[in-house]
Structure 1
């Protein structure tokens, strides 16, 4: 059973974005939206709802870091072929501006380096185009494909 949440309308989400369907934790914290850009990397976003906010009516840092974790994980996964779920080894972030209630939060990650077993990525996450979070992460690249082995299917 998923928690109730406001369903985004096509008018409230930028053109070209597709709702990403997840089970578990992100099912109750989403919806997240995404697309693959011309560089072949994921662009992801979400609309800040009241349930995402702290008492100041801005997006809670925990939700922003959850989003950063998803964004960087998908960035590395897609960059290494999109066939593996990548657990997070390290995630850091700096809150550089607010993401107010109703704002569109969006990010595009950048792969810095991939080794045989680790992927390093970074992103600037914005709220209505203004910087909100600067983040970086390290993802573990498993030695074999995982059960959910086509992360790109979420973006199709």
Structure 2
């Protein structure tokens, strides 16, 4: 199998349980439970690559939003409906075709209506992005 094969997924990861037409196009995404929460990951494929042969910044930005919001979404049962109010991203390095990138997210503070989160996206030992976000919790 080549490095871009869907079967070449690190141990412990499974196809993410979330889906939408946009996320299906932007992914595929994978998840596993980590010590600090859910880790969301993807393998950089041809559709993610920009004109300078690295992953488009929007790919990493989308992964950041997905990972941070998913952490809040899964914070309670039943799952919380959330909407992004603010997302800050700091691009530190690029990802190349075939790279496996993982997003680590944590909830820093959560109230009845708002959640504050932070995290990072890594490829191996390299930190590609740091991020923070604020989410509206859309309780009924």
**TM-score, with structure 2 as normaliser:** 0.90
Gaps of 5+ in 1: 1-5, 145-156
Q: CA RMSD, aligned part only?
A: 1.6
Gaps of 5+ in 2: none
**Cα-to-partner distance string for 1:52-98 (whole Å, 9 max, x where unaligned):** 01112111001110110000001122224461221111101000011
Equivalent residue for 1:84? Answer: 80
**C-alpha contact 1:50 1:57 (8 A) present in aligned 2:** no
Q: Deviations over 1:84-135 (max 9, x none)?
A: 2211111010000111111111011011100110000011101233110111
Point out the structure with the larger strand share. 2
Match of 2:27 in 1: 30
Give 1:7 deviation, angstroms: 5.6
Single out whichever of 86-95 and 70-79 deviates more from structure 2. Answer: 70-79
Q: Given the superposition, is the C-alpha separation of residues 110 and 29 from structure 1 closer, same or farther in structure 2, using an over 3 Å criterion?
A: same
Whole-Å Cα distance in 2 between the matches of residues 85 and 14 of structure 1?
A: 29
State the secondary structure of the residue aligned to 2:122.
strand
- Using structure 1 for the length normalisation, give the TM-score: 0.81
Q: How many corresponding residue pairs? A: 136
